Chain A
């Protein structure tokens, strides 16, 4: 018990107290400016009522769903699976090379990566425009697509590695029985590899959906703009708290996000247990 003491202190200070504090803030009109800053009042569920009546919240929620489906489910999971499957029967050296390239995207710090992508997508001198020969300001004309592609690129490594391990774990003889029966590559995938990787697929979908749902990094690329077009929920909370200093509302949104994550995780885990 004594050994747990130091970590228990840190967990309490940096995790439990802020979490409870956020829950409490959500029930007050706490703010950094004005009267409420000096003398916050307990307002009950008023903040929640305000949030749930706010069309901006629903808009942000919709954008988050588009972002998660686009970048996590299609971009990272589906693309990651296709990459992992494509290279699963290629020679070990080629596979290792591809894995290293993909992991590089995962290793570099977020701030550096966003800077690289800003340079890549820049309208005047961006690498992409130089390659395809255009003047498109990608972050302004296609902001949502830009952050979806960005997050897919950034996170695909995890899915490639996880699915790569799952596919490698399917015994060779299982695929060979199918080959002798005359099953095509696609049938081997559908009938054997996917069912055998079911657990990995669900775990992967759960993790990357939660990560993307809570991801703040796109702020460094678009700042939530232009015109709120990429204001996904984590950015929405940040704006409410640190631009408008409305901590009560921000805490209420954060709590709602937590509940959404919780319900989503429960559904996925439940599904994983049915066999």
Chain B
């Protein structure tokens, strides 16, 4: 047993027959910030809830800190969870909310007050102690929910989309704060999110899930640079990756009318194989027409602030690239987009896997 949290052959079938988890294996290291990412219905929340003991498993085992907890009550797992809706009790003050789990665990009053204060200070909400949840802002409510989790001093934090209910600006602030807090506490944390940027920004390691299984596991950098399959490739990245159907002919990738060199990283491309060429818009450069790559008419320019997202039409094929602010081409002009061969990926058309 190596990981702090070990999930072995975990299967969860709901009474209505839905298979939410399909003999899933996962190992999470001590002190790690681990993110579970995926579209809705992929099983990420179910996985989190089974680790927390809120859902009964159908088959498989769960270990936390080298102890089997598969059938242990949630209250005996020494964990804390933060929910998307924060789950603050409207009839209790902020102080009572933070202290409630401690009260349930019969922690003596003096120690309880001390722990409430420590947690409140860490989250800078000590001046809100007498307020009711309805009298504070969404961002403050989120901090109270985190403080309540922190005050119990758990071995493991489970975060179920804790940032989703915040507005965009506050979410970025809370994200930085959460990462800093997790570093300081050093407690193993599992985060569930459907927002790929949140996952990339926060996690030490992450997993992308689909239909109850893990499609890829690794560091955020690995996810961004080398998505293991087309599903992950289309899911990760704030501007979607170019995914273009092609075929290997004479040692080149033929995509539409364009002939592209086989990428450096590709290990096993065989002649005549149907492939999908993947390149992020960030990794293409603009050059004059007919200098190789994809040549086409500039259709759309989208302002991303420091960059422009350029979409060109090469005989019905839509290719996107980013160019720095100030160097953007004029719409209607003809340009070429050159994929960086070091950053280009090839996927097998049939299996969808990276080759």
List chain A positions with a Cβ less than 8 A from chain B: 91, 171, 173-174, 176-183, 187, 191-192, 195-196, 198
Contact = CB atoms under 8 A, between A and B. Distances in A.
A174 B52 CA distance: 15
A187 B100 CA distance: 11
B54 A181 contact: no
Interface string B76-105: 110111011101011100000000110011
Contact of B54 (A176, A183, A192, A196): A176
Given A176-B54, A177-B83, A182 B73 contact: yes
B182 to A, nearest CB: 19
Contact of B87 (A176, A183, A195, A198): A176
Q: Which of A174, A180, A198 has the most CB of B within 10 A?
A: A180
Contacts of A191: 89, 100
Contact of A171 (B54, B87, B101, B152): B87
Contacts of A192: 89
B256 interface: no
B74 interface: yes
13 contacts: A91-B15, A176-B81, A176-B83, A177-B148, A178-B101, A180-B74, A180-B79, A180-B81, A182-B73, A182-B75, A183-B75, A192-B89, A196-B91
Nearest to B54: A176
Nearest to A181: B101
A179 B53 CA distance: 9
B101 A177 contact: yes
Interface residues of B, number: 25
Nearest to B97: A177
A229 to B, nearest CB: 43
Interface in B31-65: 52-54
Interface in B8-32: 15
A67 B91 CA distance: 33
A178 B104 contact: yes
B115 to A, nearest CB: 13
A181 B83 contact: no
B100 A180 contact: no
Nearest to A188: B104
A91 to B, nearest CB: 8
A182 B105 contact: yes
Q: Nearest 10 pairs between A and B by C-beta? A: A182-B75, A181-B101, A173-B87, A173-B83, A195-B91, A181-B104, A180-B74, A183-B104, A177-B87, A179-B74
Interface in B137-165: 148, 152
Contacts of B84: 173
A180 B80 contact: yes
B75 A180 contact: yes
B28 to A, nearest CB: 18
B85 A171 contact: yes
Contacts of A180: 52-54, 74-75, 77, 79-81, 101
B104 A174 contact: no
A174 B100 CA distance: 12
Contacts of B152: 181
Nearest to A195: B91
A198 B54 CA distance: 27
Given A171-B85, A187-B104, A191-B100, A181 B75 contact: yes
B164 to A, nearest CB: 13
B228 to A, nearest CB: 34
Nearest to A174: B87
Nearest to A176: B54
